[in-house]
Amino acid sequence: MKYRPDIDGLRALAVLPVLFYHAGIPGFSGGFVGVDIFFVISGYLICGMIDADIAKGCFSLGQFYKRRILRILPALFAMFAVTSVLAYAYLLPVELEDYARSLASAVFSVSNVYFAGTAGYFDAPAETKPLLHTWSLGVEEQFYFVVPLFMLFAYRFVPKRAKLLFAGAALVSFAAAFVVSYRNEAFVFYLTPLRAWELALGALLSIRFIPAPQGEWVRNVCGIAGLFLLLGVIFLGSPSVPLLLMTSLAGLGAALVIASSEAGVSLAGRLLSWRPIVFIGLISYSLYLWHWPFIVFERTDAVFSLGPAGLTKVVLVAISIGVAYLSWKYIETPFRAMAKTRSKAIVFGTASTAMASTLALCGLVLVVKGAPFRFPERVVSIASFLAYDPSGQFRTGRCFLATNRQQLDLESCLKLDATRPNYLLVGDSHAAHLWFGLTSALPEVNVMQATVSMCRPAISGVSLLDTRACPKLMRFVFDDFLVNNRIDKVLLAASWKDEDLPGLERTLDALKARGLDVAVLGPIVEYDGALPRLLADEILRGNPAIAGRMRTPGIQERDVKMGQMVTAHGASYLSVYDAMCGRGQCDEFAEGDTPMQFDAGHLTMKGSVEVARRLAAHFVKRMAKADDVSN
């Protein structure tokens, strides 16, 4: 296939937004779609070469995979080596075990499956996973494990319909992604069958199923339209936009740009062929590999800290580009040149040895349980809460719905008690983490629970097309259960944000009109990182102010604002923030070495009991007044 500098330029347009987005540089809110651009480029180039070799009768699976190994593995394993040293030096035992599992999955190109399987609601955030970015390599390698065989089969047995068969497979992949996106967006993000359509889109261009524009004017319009589409998604897109919409627009834009220079260089092609842009494209693979581990270890203040935030971002970008250049020049380029001189036996044997050795190292880390001997015993005890399982405390799958497929267990969660006051706790995970504590602190009350992940407790219109768990549960609670049952008090709790307040106001007015007694539990203290990690860092560095500096700003102000608004609407307000914080200090431990929270904001079981104990005085006073009135 003829070399096209504009495609290297397009690679630069793919990798730089990813780098800037991950580094937190403002203006690149949709930069993550750079991976989708890479997928289209990869499908175009690799499938184009396979197609050409099959047509010439010289395609060899052995040679194909030998080239893939020499192209992908040397730089990848160099990154693995450096990242593993940093991981051993810094990551706490629980984190190192998770790293070992992710490394083992990345070595065998299945890290996308691993991360999809561990992308639970309470899973550690992306910023703590140094190898998270290898998911896209997993998608590509799984795609290229199947596609050469698929193309060989199609051209051998149905040559006249081979291209149509490829297009049909791409359409099935896209349709499957569309259907699954309503149930599990993490699967749409990570899994190859639901991403294959993007690589297939590039392939359909290279095998001429999608015709290239011919006239100069048409080519220029096509290329400029593609560029504007890509830039629009990169600068105006957002993680809050449906994923499939973002990936579709990025894939279409990349396809338009590539197609525009198929029959002759378009204006967009000439712009992308500018030498500085082409240079970034040449080092784009190494830049993608190296940038994320650097960002993870700097962002967690792990091994190095670069000073003020603005300077940090600039330095991270510069370091990433510098290391990527060295990786490209001294690792990528020499190993790619070996494709002509090294036999398949040597290449496959060396790769197998490296993979087996890495797997053995990962197994050793798991056998020694993350090497806890590297840290003081108290640090290990606190760090163990990074693997905290809240499912029992939250009653996940029964009273707290963590996925759209789960159904509320009415018998367990909403059973009325004729001998005690009945309180109904409604909201998201920040309501669910209070249930155990409230039940323990108020044994004289029957605390019922109706909670679902990422769901503010509010009365609002629900679209007939909306099948997600939140609106379904809220509609049942407010329009059915509270209408047909006598409840003594409704407790509304959530991870409140400023944009939630208008909906909360409408909900309070509606419940007051029905004569319901409502109490709102305000926002909780949150951190810009998992609290156990921050507490461990305090001990390791002898700095007890680390967690305090990492408290999420603006929550105390929101708490005060909410208190004023809620009381103005005739409801009770309980400040969870005040229950945890006093005199400028927030309690970080519930009891002994048990942290109040197991992640950035959710309470541990003991934390829930302690917070509820402090809040219980309000409910006891209200019940005492109610008894006086009844007497």
- Which residue is it, tokens 């290279």? 206
In a domain, 353, yes or no: yes
pLDDT for the residue 439: 95
Residue 308 binned pLDDT confidence (cut-offs 50, 70, 90): low
- Choose among 313, 333, 220, 305: nearest CA to 19: 313
Give the helix/strand (H/E) hosting 519. strand 518-521
Rounded Cα distance, 32 and 298, in Å: 20
Domain membership of residue 525 as a residue range: 390-630
Q: Are residues 423 and 334 in the same domain?
A: no
**Residues 404, 367 share a domain:** no
Kindly report the length of the chain. 631
- Residue 159, helix vs strand vs coil: helix
166 pLDDT more than 70: yes
Q: Identify the H or E element spanning 615.
A: helix 605-630
Q: Which of 374, 400, 422 is the last residue of a domain?
A: 374
Cβ neighbours of 161 (radius 10 Å): 12
Beta carbons within 8 Å of 474's beta carbon, 6+ residues apart: 426, 455, 457, 458, 459, 460, 462
Q: Is residue 380 part of a domain?
A: no
**Tell me, what DSSP letter sits at residue 277?**
H
Instruction: Encode 44-100 in three state secondary structure.
Output: HHHHHHHHHHHHHCCCCHHHHHHHHHHHHHHHHHHHHHHHHHHHHHHCCHHHHHHHH
Q: Which residues, in sequence order, are bridge partners of residue 423?
A: 447, 489
- Other C-beta atoms closer than 10 Å to the C-beta of 246 total 20
Task: Give the integer Cα–Cα distance in Å for 67 and 612.
Answer: 61
CA angle 208, 210, 216 (to 5 degrees): 90
Q: Per the domain annotation, does 271 fall within a domain?
A: yes
Identify residue 265 by its one-letter amino acid code.
V
Burial class (CB in 10 A: 0-12, 13-18, 19+), 408: buried
User: Any idea what DSSP says for residue 398?
Assistant: T
DSSP secondary structure code for residue 496 in this structure:
-
Task: Give the confidence band of 583 by pLDDT, cuts at 50, 70, 90.
Answer: confident
* Per-residue model confidence as pLDDT tens digits over 403-454: 777 889 999 999 999 999 999 999 999 999 999 999 999 999 999 999 998 8
Does residue 370 share a domain with residue 395? no
| 382 inside domain | no
End-of-domain residue from the set 347, 374, 401: 374
The confidence band for 119, taking pLDDT boundaries of 50, 70 and 90, is confident
In this structure, the answer to whether residues 481 and 605 fall within a common structural domain is yes
Do 307 and 260 sit in the same domain of this protein? yes
pLDDT band at 469 (very low <50, low <70, confident <90, very high): confident
Sequence-ordered list of residues with C-beta below 8 angstroms from that of 190, at least 6 positions apart, any chain? 112, 113, 115, 116, 119, 135, 139
Nearest-10 Cα torsion for 372, 374, 378, 381: -20
Tell me whether residue 98 is in a domain: yes
Residue 384 included in any domain = no
Are residues 492 and 587 located together in one domain of the fold?
yes
Indicate the pTM of the whole model: 0.89
**Are 368 and 399 part of one and the same domain?**
no
Residues 467 and 600 in one domain: yes
> What is the pLDDT at residue 464?
35
pLDDT category, 618, cuts 50, 70, 90? confident
Residue 317 has a pLDDT of 92
Residues contacting residue 611 through CB under 8 Å, at least 6 positions apart:
434, 437, 524, 576, 579, 580, 596, 603
Q: What is the pLDDT of residue 621?
A: 61
pLDDT of 254: 97
pLDDT band (50, 70, 90) for residue 298: confident
Q: Following DSSP, what letter does each residue of 541-593 receive, concatenated? A: HT-TTHHHHTBPTTHHHHHHHHHHHHHHTT-EEE-HHHHHEETTEE--EEETT
pLDDT band (50, 70, 90) for residue 5: very high
Q: Domain tally for the chain?
A: 2
Q: Which of 49-63, 82-96, 305-319 has the lowest mean pLDDT?
A: 305-319
Residues 395, 368: one domain? no
Note whether 74 and 173 are same-domain residues: yes
Task: Report pLDDT for 64.
Answer: 95
Q: Is 491:433 a contact under the CB 8 Å cutoff?
A: no
The torsion defined by the Cα of 111, 113, 119 and 123, in degrees rounded to 10, comes to -50
Residue 465: CATH number of its domain: 3.40.50.1110
CB atoms inside a 10 Å sphere around CB 325: 16
The secondary structure of 201-246 as a DSSP string is HHHHHHTTSSPPP-SHHHHHHHHHHHHHHHHHHHHH--TTS-HHHH
Q: How confident is the model at residue 301 (pLDDT cuts 50, 70, 90)?
A: low
End-to-end CA distance of the chain: 91
CB 260 within 8 A of CB 269: yes
The alpha carbon dihedral of 531, 532, 538, 544 has a sign of positive
Q: Looking at residue 299, what is its pLDDT?
A: 75
Query: DSSP states of 423-467 as a string?
Result: EEEEESHHHHHHHHHHHHH-TTSEEEEEEETT---------TT--
**pLDDT per residue as tens digits for the range 481-499:** 999 999 999 999 999 999 8
Q: Do 331 and 437 lie in a common domain?
A: no
Tokens 């029957």 sit at which residue? Answer: 446
Residue at 247: amino acid letter = T
**500 neighbors 456 (Cβ within 8 angstroms):** yes
Final residue before a domain boundary, out of 374, 399, 427? 374
Tokens coding 598: 């197991």
What DSSP designation does 305 have? Answer: -
CA dihedral (379, 105, 15, 600) positive or negative: negative
| φ, ψ (nearest 5 deg) of residue 585 | -115, 140
418: in domain: yes
Would you give the DSSP letter of residue 601? S
Closest by Cα among 543, 533, 106, 598 to 302 = 533
Residue 169 and residue 88 in one domain: yes
Question: What integer pLDDT is reported at residue 340 of this predicted model?
Answer: 84
d(CA 620, CA 448): 17
pLDDT at 185: 84
pLDDT, tens digit, 9 for 90 and up, residues 239-282: 888 899 999 999 999 999 999 999 899 999 999 999 999 999 99
Q: What is the pLDDT of residues 542-565, one digit of tens each?
A: 989 989 988 999 999 999 999 999
Domain for residue 303, yes or no? yes
pLDDT averaged over every residue in the chain = 91
The pLDDT of residue 304 is: 52
| Contact (CB, 8 A) for 614 and 607 | no
* 3 state SS of 111: helix
Cα–Cα distance between 73 and 110 in angstroms, integer? 14
How does residue 161 score in pLDDT terms, banded at 50, 70 and 90?
very high
Q: 263 with 47: CB under 8 angstroms?
A: no
